[in-house]
Amino acid sequence: MRKPLEGILILEFCQFLAGPSAGLKLADLGARVIKIERPVKGDACRQLAIKNLFIDGDSLLFHTINRNKDSYAADLKNPEDLAILRKLIAKADVLTHNFRPGVMEKIGLDYLSVQSINPKIVYAAVTGYGTEGPWAAKPGQDLLVQSVSGLTQLSGSSEEGPVPFGLSVTDIMCGNHLTQGILAALIKRAKTKKSVLVEVSLLESALDVQFEVLTTYLNDGKQLPQRSKVKGSAHAYLSAPYGIYKTKDGYLALAMGNLSKISQLIGCDISELYTDASASFDNRDEILKVLGETFISQSNQYWLALLEPSDIWCAAVLNYREAVELEVFKSQQITQKLNLEDGHTITTTRGPIRIDGHKLYSAKAAPEIGADNNKINKEFDLI
Distance CA 138, CA 160 (A): 29
Q: Locate all alpha helices (DSSP H) within the chain, ordered by sequence.
A: 18-28, 60-65, 79-89, 103-106, 111-117, 142-148, 169-192, 202-208, 211-218, 259-266, 279-282, 284-295, 300-307, 320-323, 327-332, 373-379
Measure the CA–CA gap between 305 and 296, rounded to whole angstroms: 15
- The phi and psi torsions of 82 (rounded to 5 degrees) equal -65, -40
**Main-chain phi, psi angles of 127, to 5 degrees:** -130, 175
C-alpha–C-alpha distance, residues 244 and 291, integer Å: 10
Contact 101, 125 (CB under 8 A): no
Q: Measured between alpha carbons, how far is 173 from 126 in angstroms, rounded to an integer?
A: 12
What residues are paired with 335 via a beta bridge? 349
What Rg, from alpha-carbon coordinates, does the chain have?
25
Query: Which residue among the candidates 43, 58, 142, 171 is catalytic per the annotation?
Result: 171
| Residue 81 annotated as catalytic | no
Q: 251 forms bridges with which residues in the sheet?
A: 246
- Vertex 346: Cα angle to 341 and 349 (nearest 5): 130
Alpha-carbon span 252 to 254, nearest angstrom:
7
- What's the rounded Cα separation, in Å, for the pair 328 and 51? 28
**How far apart (Å, rounded) are the C-alpha atoms in residues 342 and 322?**
31
Of 103, 68, 72, which Cα lies nearest the Cα of 87?
72
Would you please indicate which residues are annotated as catalytic (active-site) residues?
A: 171
